[in-house]
Structure 1
Amino acid sequence: MILLRHELGEALREARRAQGRTLRDVAGSAAVSLGYLSEVERGTKEASSELLASICDGLGLTLSELLGVVRDRVEHVETLSAPVTLPVAPALDPDQVSASAA
């Protein structure tokens, strides 16, 4: 099962690390507590839209950029967990089964 908070957290962590920044640095820029940002990145806290916007500002991202990354991540996970369809023999006609059993 896909948890949106996990995908959001991973996307935020990847963006922060790509910039070579620490949690402390981004938390300061975003005016969010260090502990809360850490919990959001780990996917243990559901961040409000206001909080996400603030973190995005701290990272120099737009909310739409973050959500685009999350969309791609979710789509990838959905592709990996898509049900596999197997070939199935055609169903037998119940009348034919009854006639052959007699």
Structure 2
Amino acid sequence: MTLRQVASKASVALGYLSEVERGQKEASSEILASVAEALDTPISSIMREVGDRLAVLEGVAPIVPDTLPDELVAEFDAGFAVR
């Protein structure tokens, strides 16, 4: 998608989104959520990617493991089975 398409789909001004992309402005959580939705990407995936990149820049290992423990997966699955 082009920046124009993302801005339109996310209902964000193209100029503002361009400034965010270039690091000249910081986006609010609402704008981040709108952009993630426009890109059809879970915001958690974006935040994780950013966190991992920051960890590399800071020279530390990412805190979140690549996989979840089996008991956490079972608890998560059970929570959705009830609904």
TM-score range, shorter chain: 0.5 to 0.7
Identity %: 53
- If the length of structure 2 is used for normalisation, what is the TM-score? 0.68
Residue type at the aligned position of 2:33: A
- If the length of structure 1 is used for normalisation, what is the TM-score? 0.56
Name which one, 1 or 2, has greater alpha-carbon Rg. Answer: 1
- Residue segments in structure 2 that go unaligned for 5+ positions in a row: 61-83
Runs of 4 or more, structure 1, over 2 Å off, are none
Give distance in 1, aligned partners of 2:38 and 2:24. 20
RMSD: 1.3
Query: Is 2:80 the counterpart of 1:66?
Result: no
Q: Matched residue of 1:56: which SS? A: helix
- Residue segments in structure 1 that go unaligned for 5+ positions in a row: 1-20, 81-102
| Among 21, 32, 37, the residue aligned to 1:41 | 21
Residue type at the aligned position of 1:57: E
TM-superposed deviation, 1:77: 0.4
